[in-house]
Amino acid sequence: MFDTVFTDLPRRDWVTDRADGATGETLRIATVGCGNYARNVSIPAMVDGEYAEPTVVVSGDPEKRASLTEEFGVTAIDYDAYEAGAATDEYDAVYVATPNRLHLPHAETAARHGKHVVCEKPLEATVDRAERLVTACADADVRLMTAYRMQTDPVMRRLREFVDAGGIGTVQRASGDFTFPVLGGDAGPDQWRLDGHLAGGGALFDVGVYPLNTARFLTSDDPVAVSASTRSPDSAFDEVDQHVDMRVAFDGWMGNFSASFSGHANTELELLGSDGRVTVRSAFQPGADREVTVETPDGTLTVEGRGADETVEEFDYFAYAVTTGATIEPDGADGLVDMRTLAAVQESAATGERVSLDE
């Protein structure tokens, strides 16, 4: 088993032979919210994919609309036109990439127009609003995917197969960190990530969800309790957490995860089992070459520079599932598990108490 951890690493295990003969077809996607990530990562990933096609963009900025039309040949509309139903004959699904507290109204609009939804994580700024988002999609009978791109990363999918097969024995502990200097480069304090109302949380919501959700994915397990602390020593982070450390209890094992909005950029994840260990460096950056080390009694294997662009995989995964009726694993329910966990982390940090998660 050790020798086959990364055999056929880019394999798309979610593409299956179906008895009814259904195959993935092109899904036309409207991108709602055209910030830096959507413009420079998500829309190009759709272009590069096999099943997804960007056809419409929604932005309140006339210059962005003109630029995106010129670059990608898409139809560009503003938010009022989107709400009113403009260009609905030009797209089949909506990618919601606006600030967290705006996810709900934009997903509700998509559902009202009968369009499927892939929504950036976390699903919303509060649990209640996230639950309303999931309900809106269910009531309209449209598919919903939480945009957990790491769940479609081929490296992570092969690692989950390895862990599921007992490759490191029984999982005993996980640790992970995502440090993102949010004020780096040209970014200043006047951004939605530092607005507590729009974001719902700071480093916790924006990047802390990555090690949490990816550990859940690799172990197929959900949290049962959390203990946490947050710090915001710099005045720019008065409304949100600048640093968060969370101890997350699962059934029989513990996770220790951290996230920061300042400090040296870092992304890493480790799973420790009774019979081995998996370590991933460059674990969460978009399109990065993961450096993976697997240690077992059979020896040590290190792999880097292999895999595929997980954002391309993310949109193709969504498009394939929608057009074939296949299962979407990172669905609304998956997103809600994390929303409730994030809320518990905030409660624990505020009270200093361990917080249990109800069934």
Tens digits of residue pLDDT in 161-196: 999 999 999 999 999 999 999 998 777 889 999 999
End residue of a domain, out of 122, 149, 176 = 149
DSSP label at residue 357 = P
Q: What is the pLDDT along the chain (359 residues), one digit of tens a residue?
A: 656 667 788 889 999 866 566 666 899 999 999 999 999 999 999 999 999 999 999 999 999 999 999 999 999 999 999 999 999 999 999 999 999 999 999 999 999 999 999 999 999 999 999 999 999 999 999 999 999 999 999 999 999 999 999 999 999 999 999 999 999 877 788 999 999 999 999 999 999 999 999 999 999 999 999 999 999 999 999 999 999 999 999 999 999 999 999 999 999 999 999 999 999 999 999 988 899 999 999 999 998 877 779 999 999 999 999 999 999 999 999 999 999 999 999 999 999 999 999 75
Domain assignment of residue 244, yes or no = yes
Task: List beta partners, residue 176.
Answer: 257, 269
Q: What angle do CA 54, 20, 88 make, to 5 degrees?
A: 25
Q: The domain containing residue 35 runs over which residues? A: 11-149
In whole angstroms, give the CA distance from residue 230 to residue 139: 37
The mean predicted confidence, pLDDT, of the chain is 95
Predicted pLDDT of residue 100: 98
Same domain, 212 and 351: yes
Choosing from 149, 166, 193, the residue where a domain stops is 149
Phi, psi of 252 (to 5 degrees): 95, 0
Angle of the 209-219 helix axis to the 154-164 helix axis, nearest 10:
40
266 Rama class: left (phi>0) / alpha (psi -120 to 50) / beta? beta
Residues 6+ apart with CB under 8 A from 11: 154, 158
* pTM of the entire predicted model: 0.96
Q: Is 316 inside a domain boundary?
A: no
Please name the residue that has the structure tokens 């394939």: 320
312 part of a folded domain? no
Report the amino acid identity of residue 276: G
* Residues 125, 178 share a domain: no
| Separation between Cα atoms, residue 107 and residue 319, nearest integer Å | 17
129 shares its domain with 165: no
The residue type found at 37 is Y
Residue 326 lies in a domain: no
Give the Cα separation of 32 and 232 in Å (integer): 31
**Are 145 and 192 found together in one domain?**
no
Angle at 149 between CA 48 and CA 33, to 5 degrees: 75
Q: How many domains does the chain have?
A: 2
Cα-based torsion angle of the residue sequence 320, 322, 324, 329 in order, rounded to the nearest 10 degrees:
80
Q: CB–CB of 341/226 below 8 Å? A: yes
CATH no. for residue 106? 3.40.50.720
Say if 4 falls within a structural domain: no
> CA-CA distance, 240 to 200, in Å (whole number)?
8
Q: How far is CA 335 from CA 122, 204, 267, 308, in A?
A: 7, 15, 21, 24
- CATH number at 261 reads 3.30.360.10
Q: CB–CB of 300/279 below 8 Å?
A: no
**Do residue 52 and residue 27 come from a single domain?**
yes
- Assess if residue 313 is contained within a domain: no
Q: Is 17 exposed, middle or buried (0-12, 13-18, 19+ CB in 10 A)?
A: exposed
